[in-house]
Structure 1
C-alpha cells in the first residue's frame, strides 16, 4: 500500500504555501501578523488568557480614536453594555454595509452628516442582499422587522411574509448572488427561517446571553466571534444608538419585549465625543459613559 498525503499533511502543505505567498508579497512583518491573527482566531488558550491576548492585539489594530480623548470620557473601544432595545430606533446612515471591516472600526470617531442623513450611500462594490429589505426610516418599519412581526406575533407562515417572498423572487436573477444573509437558493432561505424559529424559541425560553457569556462554554467562540456577533451600534452626535448589525436578534428581542440587550459600540460621532468632553461623564446615564 502506498503512502498518500493525508488531510493533516495537506493542511500543513497549504499553510506553508500561504506563508510563502504572504512573505513574498508583503514581507516578514505581514507574515508574523497573519500567523498571530490565525492563532488568535482559534481560541485554544484558557478563555481568560485568550481574551487578554486577543484584546491587546486588536486594540493595536483597531481605529481606537477614542484613546485620544480625556480619560474621563474615553470609553474602552470593546466595551459591552446592556441597553433597552427601545433605545435603538434607526439604522446608522454610514455607507452601507456599515459592518464591513468592523474589527478595524472599533473606537473610530467620525464627523460629518452620516448620523442624520435620510439614506446611506451604498458601496458601489457591494454585492450582498439588497439593502431595501433591511433599511427604513425607522427599524420597526423595515421589511425585515415587519416580516418577523407577522410570523412570530400573527403566525403568518414564512413563505407568506414580505421578506421571504421578496428574497425568493430574487433567487432566479443573476444578481445579487446572496438574497438574504448567506442564502443563494430557496432551500437556503427555508433553512434560514428554521434557524430564526430556533433562535426565537431559545431567547424566549432562556433569555438573551451575550457572546462573551458563551466564551469558555463553546470552544468556537473567541474574541473576534464576540465582536462580530454582538448587536453593534454607532453613536450619533446627540447620543442616539444607531444599529450597525444584529438586526435579526434586535427584532426578536423587541418582539419578545425584553428589557435589556447587550450591545457593543463601533463608530462615534465627533459631535458626541465633544459633548462628552464638555459635560461631566459622572452626571450622564448614557450607556456609552458607564465606567468612564
Structure 2
C-alpha cells in the first residue's frame, strides 16, 4: 500500500546506515532511557517541591546577580499564543536554564515556529485533512528514533499511530475544555500515578526586545492553541536576554521603560507583575 512506503523507506535506510547488530542495541538504549525518565526522572521531579527550587534560585541569584533574574523562575506568564512566532535555534543545554540571564546573540538565531515539523503536521492534519503518515510528523518521528533512540517515549515506528491518537486526544481536550495549565491538569489526576508535571509547561526565552521565543516543551499544545485561536496559554520563562533583564530592573525601580525614545508597553506579560507590584494598572 502507498501509505506504507515511508515506513519501508525508513527501515531500508536504517539497515543501510548501520550494522545489523546495532539495531537491537539502539532499541534497547532507547527503551532504557525511557524507563529512566519514566520511573526515576519524572517521579523525582514531582517529589521536589517548587519552593525548594525557588530557594535554590534565590541563593544562586544572591551569589551571581548578573546571571540570574529577579523573577520567580517557576511563575506562569499568560501569553497570546499567536505572539510566539519564533523558535530558538540552539543545542539543548545539559542542565535546566530556569531563571538564567544571558547576553549575546542567541535570541537572533531562530527559525519560524510554524515551520517546525510538529506545528506543520498539526496544521496539515487538522486544517487540511491530511493523513498523519503524509505529514512531516512521520519523517520527524523516524528521525527522532534514529538520533535519540526514542520519540516521545516510544522506541519503534510501530508506535507512530498510537502517538497520533494521543495528539488527537489532546486536540479534542483543548477544543472542548479550553487550555489548562499542567498544574491544573495535575490537580485533576491521582498524585501517585499522574504523568503530568509542572515542569512541562510551554517553555520560552525572552529576547532583548521582549519577544517570547519558543524553547522547549509543549510544542504540540502551542501549535494546537494557535490553530484553535486560544486567547492565552501559560508559559514558563527559562531565560531572559541581558538587555531585557535591564528593562525589568528599570521597571522595578519605577522608571518608564523606553526604546529609541518610545515608551515601551507596560502590559507586556513579563512586566505586568512588576507594574502591579508598584500599585499600578498596566
Structural mapping, 1:55-70, within 5 Å: 55-62=50-57, 68=65
Would the aligned equivalents of 1:211 and 1:226 in 2 still touch at CA under 8 Å? yes
Instruction: Normalising by structure 2, report the TM-score.
Output: 0.67
Deviates more, 1:182-191 or 1:54-63: 54-63
Determine the C-alpha separation between the residues in 2 that align with 1:219 and 1:60.
27
Instruction: Name the SS of the counterpart of 1:188 in structure 2.
Output: helix
Matches within 5 A, 1:32-47: 41=45
- Partner residue, 2:129: 155
2:224 to 237, 243, 252: 252
Q: How many matched pairs?
A: 218
Separation (CA, whole Å) in 2 of partners of 1:145 and 1:78: 25
Query: Does the 8 Å contact 2:46/2:197 carry over to 1?
Result: no
1:63–1:106 contact (8 Å) kept in structure 2: no
Shift of 1:81: 1.8
| Structure-1 separation of matches of 2:224 and 2:43 | 34
**1:92 maps to 2:70:** no
Residue aligning to 1:262: 234
Deviations 1:193-228 (A, max 9, x none): 110010001111111111122343323389x95442
Contact conserved, 1:233 with 1:264, CA < 8 A, in 2?
Answer: yes
Alignment of 1:74-113 (within 5 A): 74-93=70-89, 95-97=90-92, 101-102=95-96, 105-113=97-105
Q: Distance in 1 between the 2:197 and 2:42 partners?
A: 16
Which aligned pairs between 1:136-215 and structure 2 lie closer than 5 A? 137-168=111-142, 175-178=147-150, 180-215=151-186
SS in 2 for 1:238: coil
Change (3 A) 1:221 1:264: farther
For the structure 1 residues 205 and 166, does the alpha-carbon distance in structure 2 shift closer, same or farther, using more than 3 Å as the test?
A: same
Mapped to 1, the partners of 2:246 and 2:168 lie a distance apart of: 43
Secondary structure of the residue that 2:77 maps to in structure 1? Answer: strand
Cα offsets for 1:220-278 (capped at 9, x unmatched): 389x9544211111111110101112111101111111111111111111111112223
Gaps of 5+ in 2: 1-40, 258-264, 275-282
Within the candidate set 248, 251, 275, 2:247 is matched to 275
**Contact 1:234–1:241 under 8 Å retained in 2:** yes
Looking at structure 1, the residues matched to 144 and 51 of structure 2 have their Cα atoms a distance apart, in angstroms, of: 43
SS at match of 1:268: strand
Structure 1 position 39, deviation (Å): 9.1
Distance 2:179 2:137 in 1: 24
